[in-house]
């Protein structure tokens, strides 16, 4: 069984987890998707492989991700765990590789786990979901990084073909 564990801010990590689940199941895999805050020890123990998915907000991964990795590093190492990082700078293809993605690089330096594979996908800019402060902060970040600042529309940057290719890679390695 492949266990996909995710933590999400606005739902994009869950959406990516669901897409991976679909790709894996279509290729004969048994898959379970679980929110990081409720994943059980039994799920971790019975998994043959674990895929951890997390998105950033304001340049940081959530604290629960660090706690999860620290508490479950032995499972992640034993089961050749993979990591998927989601962030908006990955909308630039050059930043969608670990060595060029500062957020993923910093995360990997801070943890006691070397993932089997690291994938980075661009997230989504969901202005319609943001509260006033978040909307203004994210607009500022987008302005500084030459991204879209029109808050009247949501934009999904996730390359779903790339997500599917990552899923196929997991299938081929089982």
118, 82 contact by CB (below 8 A): yes
| Bridge partners, residue 31, by sequence | 2
Q: How far is CA 27 from CA 71, 103, 144, 159, 165, in A?
A: 31, 31, 42, 20, 12
Task: List pLDDT tens digits, range 59-106.
Answer: 899 999 999 999 999 999 999 899 999 999 999 999 999 999 999 999
Domains, the chain, ordered by start:
2-123+158-173 (3.40.50.360), 125-157 (no CATH)
Task: List pLDDT tens digits, range 23-58.
Answer: 999 999 999 999 999 999 999 999 999 999 999 988
Alpha-helix runs per DSSP H in 5-101: 12-26, 41-46, 63-78
Token pair for 161: 């073909």
Answering whether pTM is above 0.85, one says: yes
Neighbours of 144 (CB within 10 A): 9
């Amino acid at each position: 069984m492949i266990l996909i564990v995710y933590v999400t801010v606005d739902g994009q990590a869950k959406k990516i987890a669901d897409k991976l689940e679909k790709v894996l199941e279509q290729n004969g895999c048994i898959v379970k998707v679980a929110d990081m805050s409720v994943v059980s020890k039994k799920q971790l123990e019975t998994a043959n492989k674990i895929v951890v998915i997390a998105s950033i907000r304001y340049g940081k991964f959530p604290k629960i991700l660090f706690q999860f990795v620290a508490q479950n590093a032995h499972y992640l190492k034993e089961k050749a765990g993979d990591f998927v990082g989601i962030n908006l700078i990955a909308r630039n293809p050059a930043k969608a590789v670990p060595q060029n993605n500062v957020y993923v690089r910093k995360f990997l330096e801070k943890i006691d786990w070397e993932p089997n594979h690291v994938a980075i996908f661009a997230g989504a800019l969901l202005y319609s979901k943001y509260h006033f402060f978040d909307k203004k902060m994210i607009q500022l970040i987008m302005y500084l990084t030459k991204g879209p600042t029109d808050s009247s529309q949501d934009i999904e940057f996730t390359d779903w073909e790339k997500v599917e290719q990552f899923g196929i890679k997991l299938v081929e390695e089982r």
